[in-house]
Amino acid sequence: MNKPEHLRAHLLATVAEFKHNPDRLLIFIDNGKVRCTAAASLSFEYSFDLQIILTDFAGHPDSVMLPILGWLSVNQSELLENLDKVKNGIQFEADILDKDKVDLSVTLPLTERVIVGQDEHGNTTVKHVGEPLRVAGYLDPNWRPGAQGNTSEWFVPDGQ
């Protein structure tokens, strides 16, 4: 599984508190499952709850939540976009130690796809694939807003 370590590296790089105290960031995997349909290959998906624990955290919780949300927007975007997953997706608990410190636990339900195949020599290959990239059509420079400046509608220019 690659996502836990990837998120850890992201938090260590973006949260100032961890630059001086990286040992206060703990990551655990709970409720792990492997889903395999036994199709033509043995490709599968990891499914797990990633628990992020911050101990004696002196920063504001926003300084952790924003980097987590940014990471999720690329690596598990359905937790931000799918209304069913948004309801129960990101969970947290906190113990307020004093006015300046908190123990914070954040739980994220994550998945990670693994594609199993063969190379040109018949050797088994295993590849952890990233999430499908979501690109809003209106970011395409060839698109333009609808008639009369209506920016709530977008259409593809003629000839495409």
Please state, for a pLDDT cut of 90, what percent of the chain lies above it. Answer: 52
Block residue for tokens 């020599």: 121
* Confidence (pLDDT) at 136: 52
Block residue for tokens 């307020």: 96
Q: What pTM was computed for the model?
A: 0.77
Given pLDDT bands bounded at 50, 70 and 90, which one contains residue 134?
low
Q: What's the CA gap between 104 and 34, in Å, rounded?
A: 28
Residue 155 has pLDDT above 60, yes or no: no
Block residue for tokens 């309801």: 87
Q: What is the mean pLDDT of residues 24-48?
A: 92
Q: What is the mean pLDDT of residues 140-158?
A: 46
3-state secondary structure the chain: CCHHHHHHHHHHHHCHHHHHCHHHEEEEEEEEEEECCCCCCCCEEEEEEEEEEEEEECCCCHHHHHHHHHHHHHHCCHHHHCHHHHHHCCEEEEEEEECCEEEEEEEEEEEEEEEEEECCCCCEEEEECCCCCCCCHHHCCCCEECHHHCCCCEECCCCC
Q: What's the CA gap between 134 and 153, in Å, rounded?
A: 19
Residue 55 has pLDDT above 90, yes or no: yes
* Confidence (pLDDT) at 141: 52
Most confident of 26-30, 98-102, 134-138, 152-156: 26-30
Give the residue extent of every domain in the chain: 3-134
Most confident of 26-30, 39-43, 59-63, 72-76: 26-30
